[in-house]
């Protein structure tokens, strides 16, 4: 599906504030509310809009420990990778999982309440998964930029 400038404005507006009313969005892009709603529905059905979420303030939600964990598996191939994906999908501490190139096989972004919670997670959950050979953790000291918006220019 090709996106015109109006679609791009709609996507920018919704990425900035997904709770914007249809009337406000229509005013932003210069269309009638009914045309705006129709376009948004098309963007949703095309899959370009994946979902709507509320972004929480991690500290206010009680999360103070963020880490990136590189995971190396003992075996590769379709079944071990699918088994790893299946196992980690059940672990709410893992916010993101990326299959990567390089020395590690996966890069995980993990959120826990604190360091003792992270230690518990690593010792009793992540390292206990079958086929996990090695893990390397980097602890986030501070974050200077964290975006969720994609450039749709």
Q: Confirm if 102 and 93 have CB atoms less than 8 A apart.
A: no
Give the pLDDT of residue 1.
64
Domain spanning 65-139: CATH 3.30.70.920: yes
Structure confidence at residue 76 (pLDDT) = 85
CATH class of the domain defined by 5-46: mainly alpha
- Which residue ranges make up each domain of the chain? 5-46, 65-139
pLDDT score at 153: 85
3-state secondary structure 18-87: CCCCHHHHHHHHCCCHHHHHHHHHHHHHHCCCCCCCCCCCCCCCCCCEEEEEEEEECCCCHHHHHHHHHH
Query: 5-46 with 65-139: one CATH topology?
Result: no
pLDDT score of 60: 96
pLDDT (tens digit, 9 = 90+) per residue, 121-139? 999 999 999 899 999 999 9
Kindly report the pTM of this predicted structure: 0.88
Kindly list the averaged pLDDT for each block of 10 residues, start to end, along the chain of length 153: 88 96 97 97 96 94 98 91 94 97 96 98 95 97 94 90
């Amino acid at each position: 599906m090709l996106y015109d400038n109006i679609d791009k404005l709609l996507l920018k507006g919704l990425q900035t504030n997904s709770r914007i009313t249809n009337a406000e969005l229509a005013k932003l892009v210069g269309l009638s509310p009914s045309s705006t709603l129709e376009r948004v529905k098309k963007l949703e059905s095309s899959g370009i809009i994946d979902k709507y979420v509320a972004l929480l303030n991690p500290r206010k939600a009680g999360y103070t420990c963020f880490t990136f964990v590189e995971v190396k598996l003992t075996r590769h191939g379709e079944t071990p990778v699918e088994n790893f994906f299946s196992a980690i999908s059940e672990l709410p501490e893992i916010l993101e999982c990326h299959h990567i190139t390089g020395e590690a096989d996966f890069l995980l972004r993990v959120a826990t309440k604190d360091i003792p919670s992270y230690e518990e997670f690593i010792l009793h959950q992540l390292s206990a998964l079958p086929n996990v050979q090695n893990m390397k953790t980097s602890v986030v000291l501070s974050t200077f930029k964290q975006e969720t918006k994609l450039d749709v220019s």
